């Protein structure tokens, strides 16, 4: 079954300079609930709940300092795994 996108969400990482900045951006752009726990498990749970049917565009990864890029990459890997295991859940585009 083909993926059907109902909305586009953009995650521009260019202004992110800390883990806290990243979580603030994610919570705001993905409209996560106040209970978002700012960790991998909470991200996966909220992402599945709040991003179903969306196309998610991620940009600015190369602008992050290396340690922060490594940290954010863990979250992108969760998104890639979710997309692979549930192909109708959402579309992921890393620019």
Q: In the predicted model, what is the mean pLDDT of the chain?
A: 90
Element (H, E) at 94: strand 91-94
Q: So what's the pLDDT on residue 19?
A: 97
pTM over the 0.85 mark: yes
Helices 40-50 & 66-85 angle (0-180, nearest 10): 50
Give the domain 7-94 fold: Barnase; Chain D (3.30.370)
N residues, the chain: 95
Domain boundaries, the chain: 7-94
Q: Of the given ranges (10-14, 38-42, 49-53, 78-82), which has the lowest mean pLDDT?
A: 49-53
Q: Measured between alpha carbons, how far is 75 from 84 in angstroms, rounded to an integer?
A: 14
86 confidence band (pLDDT: 50, 70, 90): confident
11-26 residue pLDDT tens: 999 999 999 999 999 9
């Amino acid at each position: 079954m083909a993926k059907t996108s109902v909305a586009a969400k953009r995650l521009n990482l260019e202004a992110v300079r800390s883990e806290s900045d990243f979580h603030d951006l994610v919570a705001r752009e993905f409209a996560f609930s106040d209970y978002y726990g700012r960790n991998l498990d909470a991200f996966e749970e909220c992402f599945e709940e709040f991003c179903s049917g969306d196309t998610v565009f991620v940009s600015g990864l190369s602008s992050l300092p290396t340690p922060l890029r490594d940290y954010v990459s863990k979250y992108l890997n969760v998104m890639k795994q979710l997309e692979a295991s549930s192909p109708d859940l959402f579309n992921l585009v890393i620019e």
